[in-house]
Chain A
């Protein structure tokens, strides 16, 4: 079974600084997809970024980028120029042939 591990329950960063959130996963699948979702206090899960496992190039979306290391089964999220609105829970998710598995989340606080 696939498992997703986020080892940082809480993190904080100063506004305009850069922060990296860690995620590792375990799977025997070769084709899969990885996602980072953001969940602000309003509780709606919002897609931040998506990575296809068969693509070596790391995905980027504006201030958000990932470091995908397939052999190491690592999928970290880097947030550049952090903004107050980035304060939220961040979940790493794995999508294989069956269901989507989420990590336990990292609570990120951006400080002014």
Chain B
């Protein structure tokens, strides 16, 4: 039973560039959430996708966008990268119609902006 997988594991970009991070949810899950975790802090909710639409969004600018595909996998896109976007980006999956179920997390993508 495959868990949540994210790619790449580590990425280095420069300011102003664009980046795409990828996530495959745990088998049987249909909802994907993305989080940004700055060094030494807790994860901050970016947005959640279900049925290929963004359902919830945290306090992040429009430079952060996403997509969910019919197979439930998801992408996180960040445009016009800033130094402050350097962080660990975590993807989590869950089953939408089971309230209160814990989210299962991937290992994350470490994004470094130079």
Contacts and interface: CB of A to CB of B under 8 A. Distances in A.
A101 interface: yes
A16 interface: no
A44 B106 contact: yes
B45 A104 contact: no
Interface residues of A, number: 23
A102 B43 contact: yes
Interface in B57-96: 58, 88, 90, 92
Contacts of B88: 43
A50 interface: yes
Given A43-B108, A100-B33, A105 B41 contact: yes
A99 B58 contact: yes
Contacts of B90: 45
17 contacts: A6-B42, A35-B102, A37-B105, A43-B88, A43-B107, A44-B105, A45-B105, A91-B42, A95-B100, A98-B56, A99-B33, A100-B45, A101-B45, A102-B35, A102-B43, A105-B40, A105-B42
Contacts of B104: 47
Given A42-B107, A45-B90, A99-B56, A104 B102 contact: no
Contacts of A46: 105
Given A99-B48, A102-B44, A103-B42, 14 more contacts: A33-B100, A37-B105, A43-B88, A44-B107, A45-B105, A46-B105, A91-B43, A99-B45, A100-B33, A100-B45, A100-B92, A100-B103, A102-B35, A105-B42
